[in-house]
Amino acid sequence: MPIRAVRGATQLDVDEREHLLDRVAELVKEVLHSNDLDTEDLISAIFTATPDIHSEFPAYAARLMGMSDVPLICAQELDIAGAMPRVIRLMAHVDTDLPRDRITHVYLHGAAALRRDLTHVHAVPD
């Protein structure tokens, strides 16, 4: 089965732990649902957070969802002047038969404005 990468992002309203955990769980669930995947299809996932996020590791939300055997890592985004604040990004590597051009990338809340250039995007603004 081919390995594909699925992208996604969400924006937090505030940098608070429970809010972060809820938004990241929502993002992971929507990435899986939009691409007809389950957690067994996940190979690994990289989460990044803008430098203004301090309340929790985004990958912890995936651990709380039961992804204890999926390799996960967190990193910090570049601190670019004028960049959208409080954004968590996800790149998940998955086993799927979907061709690359049929992968649905997911952008939620304020992050829906980030990737208008992609052709197959599920964007849900606030």
116 an active-site residue? no
C-alpha to C-alpha distance for 85 and 5, rounded to whole angstroms: 24
115 an active-site residue? yes
Phi, psi of 54 (to 5 degrees): -135, -5
63 an active-site residue? yes
Q: Among the options 7, 23, 30, 86, which is catalytic?
A: 7
Q: Among the options 16, 17, 63, 102, which is catalytic?
A: 63
Q: Among the options 77, 86, 100, 116, which is catalytic?
A: 77
The answer for residues whose C-beta is within 8 angstroms of residue 8's C-beta and 6 or more apart is 27, 30, 31, 89, 90, 92, 105, 106, 107, 108
C-alpha to C-alpha distance for 50 and 32, rounded to whole angstroms: 23
Q: Among the options 23, 30, 86, 107, which is catalytic?
A: 107
74 an active-site residue? yes
Q: Among the options 17, 40, 89, 100, which is catalytic?
A: 89
102 an active-site residue? no
Residues marked active site are found at: 7, 63, 74, 77, 89, 107, 115
